[in-house]
Amino acid sequence: MKILYSWLSDFIENPPSPEEAAAKLGRIGLKVEELHRTGAAFTGVCVGRIEKIDRHPNADKLSLVDVNDGKGVMRVVCGAKNIAVGQLIPFAKVGAMLAEGELKKARIRGVESEGMICSAGELGLEGYDNSGILVLPADAPLGADAMTLFPKADHALEVEMLPNQGYCLSHYALARELCVFYGLKLKEAPVFQGEARGEAVPVEIKVPDLCPRYGAVVMKGVKGARTPEWMAARLRAMGSNPKGNLLIDGSNYVMYELGQPTHCFDVAKLGGPKIIVRRALPGEMLKTLDGQDLKLDPGMMVIADASRPAALAGVMGGADTAVSDDTDMILIESARFHAPTVRQASKTTGLKSESSYRFERGTDPELPLKAARRLAALILEAAPGARVEQISDNCPVKYRPPVIEVAPARINAILGTGIADGEIEACLKALQPRLRDGKPWQFEAPSYRQDIEMINDVAEEVARYIGYDVIPPVTRMPMLPSAVTPQWTAAAELKQGLAALGFSEVYNYDFVSAKELKVCGAAPETALEVKNPLSSDFQYLRPALLPGLLKTLRYNLNRGRETVLVFEAGTAYARRDGGKAEEVYCAGLMYGEYPEGGSWRGGAAKADFYHLKGVLARLFSGKGGFRYEKPRKAPAYYQPGLCLEMKLGGSCAGYLGKLSREAAAAADLKDDAVFLFEVPLSCLAQAGKTEFWQKVVKVKPVSQFPQSWRDLSVVLDEKHEWGELERSFSGVQDLASARLVDVYKGKNIPAGQRSLTVRFTFSSMEKTLNDAEVGARMTAIQDKLARSFGAKLRA
């Protein structure tokens, strides 16, 4: 939040310097992210008048401008497009000090420039249009020092506001914090002190639980009330664009000053006239100040007149009852609204405002009428003919602050300190001046501190009061030994392996849209829906990691990348057995050249199914029982016939394959040459070794005798997979390996069958096998194939 030092100083007697104020705020937990000068930060600039404009002889986009500074006419080179003869402008002569430094003599495209016509930015001014030169008011005196036309130099503090610091969202509030914690004297803003007991506009609160207090001040004779320049300057410095109408700008001013949002209704446009605070009725509409037509939900709280909604409570006013330059009678609204109700209405409608920002964080229950009186005082000051017709404070639910029992020993136990009783009492009295003596103290939190609810909150205020830096940096918490879980270890191994193979790790949100569910082939009713999504893009929890990976792929392709190798470790969510289930996966994809940049031998190949299969084989190397099998039921986003299930022992270790055309189309990808994998980490965690000695690779002895190999070609039905045959070879004596070397269908092979050629390698640890021994083992293999699969020797 931006805070103006001069405005802050209005509420502190003998205020600290800007630098000291920033340091003091930081010491009590209010971080000042930036402190910088604002206002007129220049010298040597006068009011000039443009007398003549000629084209630059050497540049189409530049002009030669004759400027009169009241003493003479000088020629300058200017590139602005909004210049015109007769304009009064800020004219900087050579030697002037501007926001970016001293202006020096310059020769621009062959023509000497005797000065510069300045923009607002070049003068260090905020809140103005910087697209061209700054045009001064027509009544500005020619030749006068331009410094006199603008606000004096000031300092702005950018203060970080945390969600629980709603009590600090104003200049007065920060001044109050400085006074409370540093013993400074707080000054109050002048407010209208009179009374008016009329009831020109009755107020009825039908939802006291949502609106416990509603202050209303009715004023007449406000027509033509204009915003004074000093107020407009402060609003501009805050980043707000003053409208010139005091009824609008004054409301913003009071909000920035006191932290209480207010709103002005044109009484002539109110039905009744009457104010009713109620819930919206089914089918009701509201046209907001920004021109939107809202269909109101029945749960929303509205400020209505006798016949229709006039404002969405705490969020935004309605256009039909808005004030204008012709407004003569107004009702100033200053209320306290239920924070969750305002937050829900703001979120549902998508409307964000400075008012909703404050109401959502909770406002001071004792502040509404004070803010309304403050705005009335500002209007009376600017429009002497105005008068107050009604002041009503409607408070169906009285605020009662919580009473917290505070014992010094308990405070020190929470903070781990030895703070003296007197220091703790001084802190409590700074917050509650009427604190009674006697321990334990009965502490009532001030009304503006809605966040103080229990003894722990009081302990935090004591820590702020004495200073966080005074608390010794020690702990009585025992240091626990660190440990890693098997799942964490499995994830770390996969990440390291994939990174070594050229993959990059990415992170994506756990939330997906209904469109992204289609990528996974999941229907919305089968996915877990978020009750309060931030937007429709985050409506569901992801059933797989695929949507985020494809989004990453599309993002990279749209920015000119031709090769994408990425992976992610994260959680997928599903409905299971009537409940919810979570599973942590490591998933990734390959697209484009592999390896990226080509091989050292020259040339490059596109990533394909076998590249990915090799990557997974490398990742699972050394894992006993790892194998590929034909999937019985693969996820819908894999292309049939180009998908394998990975097995580790008897458990599923995930899937790999090519992305289906349907999934690619759902992800807005033109090319479906995407190869992906997913591995559940629970499987690897169960198969992992936890002790170091278990991870040590044991050396397997190698036979010193020569190997023998034989090729066998058999014909069998197509329904039999190679994996089935491979498993049947277990138990064959001295068999070192069996490798499929050829698959053939066609001439001389019956329909529905195919020929497989397998190379068998034999090795004995005891001797060199002769032909008869190898032949006997091959006969045993052939008999087993014939019995189990009906295989016949290929002719």
DSSP secondary structure letters along 447-485 = TT-TT--SHHHHHHHHHHHH-GGGS-S---SPPPPP---
Q: What is the third-level CATH fold of 486-692?
A: BirA Bifunctional Protein; domain 2 (3.30.930)
Predicted pLDDT at 72: 93
Predicted pLDDT at 237: 87
Confidence of residue 690 (pLDDT cuts 50, 70, 90): low
* Alpha-carbon radius of gyration of the chain: 39
The torsion angle over the Cα atoms of residues 617, 618, 620 and 622, rounded to 10 degrees, is 110
In angstroms, the Cα distances linking 59 to 62, 66, 233, 664 are 6, 17, 38, 52
Confidence of residue 695 (pLDDT cuts 50, 70, 90): low
For 184, how many CA atoms within 13 A lie in the half-sphere containing its CB? 21
Question: Are the folds of 2-38+155-186 and 486-692 the same?
Answer: no
Confidence of residue 694 (pLDDT cuts 50, 70, 90): low
Confidence of residue 681 (pLDDT cuts 50, 70, 90): very high
Q: What 3-state class would DSSP assign to 487?
A: helix
In angstroms, the Cα distances linking 457 to 21, 94, 449, 453, 664 are 24, 59, 10, 6, 53
Instruction: Find the angle CA(439)-CA(443)-CA(449) to the nearest 5 degrees.
Output: 155
Average pLDDT over residues 541-546: 95
Predicted pLDDT at 689: 65
Instruction: Find the angle CA(316)-CA(174)-CA(17) to the nearest 5 degrees.
Output: 135
Q: What is the third-level CATH fold of 403-470?
A: Phenylalanyl-tRNA Synthetase; Chain B, domain 1 (3.30.56)
Q: What is the pLDDT of residues 56-102, one digit of tens each?
A: 999 988 999 999 999 999 999 999 999 999 999 999 999 999 888 89
Instruction: Show the DSSP H helices in 570-644 as ranges.
Output: 609-619
For residue 126, pLDDT beyond 80: no
Instruction: Show the DSSP H helices in 705-792 as ranges.
Output: 722-728, 771-789
What is 203-394's CATH number? 3.50.40.10
Q: What is the third-level CATH fold of 708-793?
A: Alpha-Beta Plaits (3.30.70)
Displacement of CA 497 from its chain's centroid (Å): 32
**Segments making up each domain of the chain, as ranges:** 2-38+155-186, 43-150, 203-394, 403-470, 486-692, 708-793
Q: Is the pTM of this model over 0.85?
A: no
Work out the percent of the chain whose per-residue pLDDT is above 90: 73
Domain 2-38+155-186 bears CATH identifier 3.50.50.60: no
Sign of CA dihedral 764, 768, 771, 773: negative
Mean pLDDT computed over every residue of the chain? 91
Q: Which of 275, 235, 767 is nearest to 243 (CA)?
A: 235
The pair of three-digit structure tokens given for residue 620, joined into one six-digit string:
């699972």
Predicted pLDDT at 691: 66
For residue 603, pLDDT beyond 70: no
Which CATH architecture group holds 43-150? Beta Barrel (2.40)
Predicted pLDDT at 470: 77
For residue 5, pLDDT beyond 90: yes
